[in-house]
Amino acid sequence: MVDFKLTAEQESLRELAHDFAEKEIRPVAWEYDRDGTFPAEIIKKAWEVGLMNFHIPEAYGGPGASALDGCLIEEELSWGCSGIQTTLGCNGLASTPVVLAGSEEIKREYLGRLTEEPLLASFCLTEPEAGSDVASMRTTAVKKGDKYVINGSKVFITNGGYANWYTVYAKTDKEAGHRGISAFVVPRDAGVVVDKKEDKLGQRASNTAAVSFNDVEVPASHLLGGENEGFKLAMATLDVTRPAVAAMAVGIARAAMELATDYAKERVQFGVPIAMHQGIQFMIADMATEVEAARLLTWKSAVLLDQGERNTILSSHAKRFASDAAMKIATDAVQIYGGYGFIKEYPVEKLFRDAKIMQLYEGTSQIQRLVIARETLLPRRAAAPMAHGQGAGGGSANGAQAKSAVGS
The residues carrying an active-site annotation are: 362
DSSP 264-310: HHH-EETTEEGGGSHHHHHHHHHHHHHHHHHHHHHHHHHHHHHTT--
Distances (CA, A) of 164 to 72, 79, 91, 258: 27, 27, 10, 37
Distances (CA, A) of 112 to 49, 52, 143: 17, 13, 27
Residue type, 299: W
Element (H, E) at 79: helix 67-80
Residue type, 239: D
* Residue 239 contacts residue 192 (beta carbons within 8 Å): no
Main-chain phi, psi angles of 191, to 5 degrees? 120, 20
Nearest-10 Cα torsion for 209, 294, 368, 161:
10
* Residue 183 contacts residue 233 (beta carbons within 8 Å): yes
* Closest listed residue to residue 395, CA positions, set 237, 225, 183, 179: 179
* Closest listed residue to residue 77, CA positions, set 156, 19, 8, 4: 19
Coil/strand/helix, residue 120:
coil
* Closest listed residue to residue 82, CA positions, set 318, 289, 198, 255: 255
Say how many residues make up the chain.
408
Distant-in-sequence, close-in-space partners of 406: CB < 8 Å, separation ≥ 6? 156, 158, 198, 200, 203, 206, 208, 357, 360, 361
Residue type, 333: A
* Closest listed residue to residue 25, CA positions, set 91, 79, 69: 79
* Residue 62 contacts residue 53 (beta carbons within 8 Å): yes
